[in-house]
């Protein structure tokens, strides 16, 4: 009788254990199982890092995460979910990795884990050629369009005040640029590479980019993981490896036509 009781107790414990295991492994492969395909989420409205081309998600980040995952021995599938949903999914562990030109910062680090940095960026100002704006200071009495929930929004809030009616926030950065084009804003503040590429590729629209190093910090992009993700160690290693073995340079050259200068990014990885 005693034995039977012990047996049922063990059985019950095993059952609870299996149940809880099911409950925590909500994602496809975040448990480190390399046979499962990892769910990678992005906001594909941020060319050239991630955007949609004939229904396909493409960009520097997409090639990069594919190379890194391959190096680490994982299969990945990238899906466009949007900027705010991306963070919700990583927090809720319905996705394994976020890649979206995401700046590593202390605020986000409270809720998420980041990989080592892989890209250097800074916010810059996009304005019409004939604009009187010369610096970040000049934005103070102007209407500025940003993507909601980005470091660009934070930077502009510091200048205009968080409650300012002159700060227009959009769900994605393309909508912010459209607002500028339509005359509803005097400037867009966003990651330099994105607005520099836009201006270069749309010369007839007569926009220019201005830099203000005093107002806008250096930023570094990282892969976003749920807090405590087991994937971080493997992906950190793989990020460094693709930077050493020429894969990163190949992808960088494909998108930016020049060789990368990785000095600052590598220094920041230490
Ligand atoms: N680097 C900025 C940030 O992390 C903007 C990134 C926006 N990315 C995007 N795919 N829309 O806040």
Do 114 and 158 fall into the same domain? no
Of 52, 90, 101, the one to substitute when testing ligand 1's pocket (max ligand atoms within 8 A of C-beta) is: 101
pLDDT digits (tens, 9 = 90+) for 43-90: 999 999 999 999 999 999 999 999 999 999 999 999 999 999 999 999
Q: How confident is the model at residue 10 (pLDDT cuts 50, 70, 90)?
A: low
Is the pLDDT confidence value at 24 over 50? Answer: no
Asked if 187 and 128 sit in the same domain, the reply is yes
Same-domain status, 213 and 134: yes
What mean pLDDT is predicted for residues 224-228?
A: 98
Q: Is residue 186 lining ligand 1, measured as CB closer than 6 Å? A: no
- Residue 58 domain-assigned? yes
Q: Please tell me whether residues 201 and 81 are part of one structural domain.
A: no
Same domain, 214 and 132: yes
Residues 148 and 207 in one domain: yes
Range of the domain at 252: 35-118+222-257
Q: Please say if the pLDDT value at position 99 is more than 60.
A: yes
Q: For residue range 123-172, what is the model confidence (pLDDT) as tens digits?
A: 999 999 999 999 999 999 999 999 999 999 999 999 999 999 999 999 99
Domains identified in the chain, total number: 2
- Considering the domain boundaries, does residue 3 fall inside one? no
Same domain for 149 and 198: yes
Residue 93 has pLDDT above 50, yes or no: yes
Are 83 and 144 part of one and the same domain?
no
∠ Cα 186 187 191 (to 5°) = 170
Q: Which CATH number fits the domain that encloses residue 126?
A: 3.40.190.10
Report the pLDDT averaged over residues 23-46: 78
Residue 150 Cβ contacting ligand 1 at under 6 Å: yes
The pLDDT, as a whole number, for residue 29 is 60
Percent residues over pLDDT 90 in the chain: 87
Q: Pick the range with the lowest mean pLDDT from 22-31, 154-163, 235-244, 248-257.
A: 22-31
Structural domain contains residue 187: yes
Q: Does position 4 have pLDDT exceeding 70, yes or no?
A: no
How large is the average pLDDT for residues 105-129? 98
173 touches ligand 1 (CB under 6 Å): yes
State whether 233 and 113 are in the same domain: yes
């Amino acid at each position: 009788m005693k034995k039977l009781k012990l047996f049922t107790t063990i059985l019950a414990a095993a059952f609870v254990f299996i149940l809880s295991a099911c409950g925590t492994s909500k994602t496809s492969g975040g448990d480190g199982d390399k046979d499962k395909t990892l769910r990678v989420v992005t906001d594909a409205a941020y060319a050239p890092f991630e955007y949609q081309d004939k229904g396909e998600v493409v960009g520097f980040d997409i090639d990069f995460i594919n190379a890194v995952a391959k190096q680490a021995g994982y299969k990945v599938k990238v899906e466009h979910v949007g900027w705010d949903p991306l963070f919700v999914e990583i927090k809720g562990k319905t996705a394994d990795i976020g890649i979206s030109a995401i700046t590593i910062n202390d605020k986000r680090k409270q809720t998420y884990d980041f990989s080592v940095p892989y890209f250097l960026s800074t916010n810059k100002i996009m304005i019409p050629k004939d604009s009187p704006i010369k610096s970040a200071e000049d934005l103070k009495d102007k209407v500025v369009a940003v993507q909601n929930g980005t470091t660009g929004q934070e930077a502009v809030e510091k200048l205009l005040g968080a409650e300012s009616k002159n700060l227009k926030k959009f769900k994605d950065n393309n909508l912010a640029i459209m607002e500028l084009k339509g005359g509803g804003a005097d400037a867009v503040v966003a990651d330099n590479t994105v607005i520099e590429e836009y201006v270069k590729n749309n010369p007839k629209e007569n926009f220019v980019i201005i830099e203000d190093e005093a107002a806008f910090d250096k930023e570094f992009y990282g892969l976003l993981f749920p807090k405590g993700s087991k994937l971080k160690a493997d992906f950190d290693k793989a990020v460094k490896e693709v930077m050493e073995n020429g894969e990163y340079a190949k992808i960088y050259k494909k998108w930016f036509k020049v060789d990368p200068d990785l000095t600052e990014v590598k220094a920041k990885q230490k």
